[in-house]
Amino acid sequence: MPDMGGEMLGRLIKADPQLCHISLLLLTSSGQKSDRARFEEAGFSAYLVKPTRSTHLIGALAALWGATLNGTALPEIITRHSLAEAHAAVQRSLSEEALPFSHVLIAEDNAINRKLATRLLEKLGCRVDVASNGIEAVQMWSSLPYDAIFMDCQMPEMDGFEATAEIRRRERIIWPALHIPIVALTAAAMAGDREKCLAAGMDDFLSKPIQPGMLRSFLERWAWSKTEGREPVAEPTFSNQ
């Protein structure tokens, strides 16, 4: 910037007792090997090279804000490389820490969404079957003892609400002592969706695109109930984040 660059401004802010608590993120047009140590010494908590990807900027801001809320210091200055390493570590942990859900069913009419959900579940150690509509989902559930079903709400021929209601009806007749967990998949959380899912007999709610962390949270809750032989929560959590 003219007159005073961002690095000098950062040094002045950190030298001011009333401003030194502020977390600083520097955007630079060129990245050099010596930048990391210099910017860290100047008091910056993060720096990114322009043009900056939105995922890097959001990730850096989230890390800075998280440290501020927790009152903790960051172990090192945040860079695009450290963000990539952290993301890779999370992905490795998701794939390595398999959950005790051996067989799940995905009912989804969109081929891309089916493929994405299948890959995420397989990384969590699940064996996955797919159905393209509610009728197929009911038929497949009737033939195989799945551990869980991920049910798209809007499908041709029979939607997820109808399919879930039919599964619950048959469940009461065929396997009255069992309750298969069913999670609703929807592209948008609309007013009244929660009540509609509950009325159909669904146990949880995930908004698309599916996030690996929320998917794992659902499986962890039901994996605990499966091993302990009890319900995971008194009421469905309906996680839409």
What pLDDT score was predicted for residue 48?
92
| Percent of residues, the chain, with pLDDT higher than 90 | 31
* pTM of the full structure: 0.54
What pLDDT score was predicted for residue 204?
83
What pLDDT score was predicted for residue 70?
76
Cβ count within 10 A of residue 142: 12
Give the closest residue to 212 by CA, choosing from 134, 99, 110. Answer: 99
Of 189 and 132, the structure prediction assigns the larger pLDDT to: 132
Return the axis-axis angle of helices 6-15 and 35-42, rounded to nearest 10°.
Answer: 30
The yes-or-no verdict on residue 140 having pLDDT over 60 is yes
Tokens matching residue 87: 């993301």
What pLDDT score was predicted for residue 118?
92
What does the alpha-carbon distance between residue 100 and residue 212 come to, in Å, rounded to a whole number?
Answer: 16
Q: Which residues of 63-80 are buried (b: 16+ CB within 10 A; e: fewer)?
A: bbeebeeeeeebeebbbb
Tokens matching residue 2: 């003219």
Confidence of residue 227 (pLDDT cuts 50, 70, 90): very low
CA torsion, ordered 90, 93, 99, 103, to nearest 10 deg: 70
Domains, in order of start, for the chain: 6-93 (3.40.50.2300), 97-228 (3.40.50.2300)
Q: Find the farthest-apart pair of alpha carbons in the chain and give their distance in angstroms, rounded.
A: 79
Instruction: Using CB atoms within 10 Å of the CB of residue 140, give its burial: 0 to 12 exposed, 13 to 18 middle, 19+ buried.
Output: middle
What does the alpha-carbon distance between residue 160 and residue 67 come to, in Å, rounded to a whole number?
Answer: 41
What's the average model confidence in pLDDT over 209-238?
Answer: 60
Lowest mean pLDDT among 23-27, 134-138, 180-184, 219-223: 219-223
Q: Which residues of 113-139 are buried (b: 16+ CB within 10 A; e: fewer)?
A: bbebbbebbebbbbebbbbbbbbbbbe
What pLDDT score was predicted for residue 230?
40
What's the average model confidence in pLDDT over 87-100?
Answer: 58
What pLDDT score was predicted for residue 197?
82
The yes-or-no verdict on residue 239 having pLDDT over 50 is no
Average pLDDT, the chain: 81
What pLDDT score was predicted for residue 58?
87
Strands (E), 142-191: 148-152, 182-186
What's the average model confidence in pLDDT over 221-232?
Answer: 51
What pLDDT score was predicted for residue 90?
61
3-state class of 36 per DSSP? Answer: helix
Q: How many residues would you count in the chain?
A: 241
What's the average model confidence in pLDDT over 12-40?
Answer: 89
What's the average model confidence in pLDDT over 25-43?
Answer: 87
Q: Which helix (H) or strand (E) holds 19?
A: none
Is 198 within 8 Å of 163 (Cβ atoms)? Answer: no
3-state helix, strand, coil in the chain (%, to 5): 50, 15, 40
pLDDT digits (tens, 9 = 90+) for 109-118: 999 989 989 9
